[in-house]
Amino acid sequence: MRRPDVELRLVNWARWTWRKVGRGEGYSQRNTIARWGEGTSTWREARIPIIDEDAAVTDEAVRALELRLQDTVRAMYLEEITYREASARLGCASSTVHARVGEAHEAIHRWLAQRAAARRGGRALPGLGEGGFPH
């Protein structure tokens, strides 16, 4: 399931990452008008500020994902490709890409919740595995 809070974090993370690798101010490099013809949404063109601390935490969460989910998140958020393009690149059906994005959102949400709980308690939570995911 896609989560709006995770979606915003991933958009912020993508812009933070783009800025780190020299893609301008962290805004999409694809023209909004050109994208309209592709039938994709224009949510990536919304001008939101980049919040470095949130992006760095989101980067940790993305790095903790299973490789197949990392690859999917990077394709959809960093490369700004369509579901069809992602399915060709990742070697799976478009519906699988949709499912993986939802799975990544859920995993990142759980990772962030575990991190917040650990920080509130001032200690690592029992049963917290590598990358902050439960065993």
Q: What pTM was estimated for this model as a whole?
A: 0.72
* Residue numbers of the chain with a pLDDT score lower than 70: 23-49, 122-135
**If we measure between CA atoms, which residue out of 56, 60, 67, 59 comes closest to residue 132?**
60
Kindly list the domain boundaries of the chain, sorted by start residue: 4-132
Q: What is the pLDDT of residues 96-112, one digit of tens each?
A: 999 999 999 999 999 99
The pair of structure tokens assigned to 45 is: 């063109």
The pair of structure tokens assigned to 127 is: 């049963």
Helix, strand or coil, per DSSP, at residue 134: strand
pLDDT at res. 48: 53
CATH of 4-132, one of 3.40.640.10, 1.10.10.10, 1.20.1740.10, 3.40.390.10: 1.10.10.10
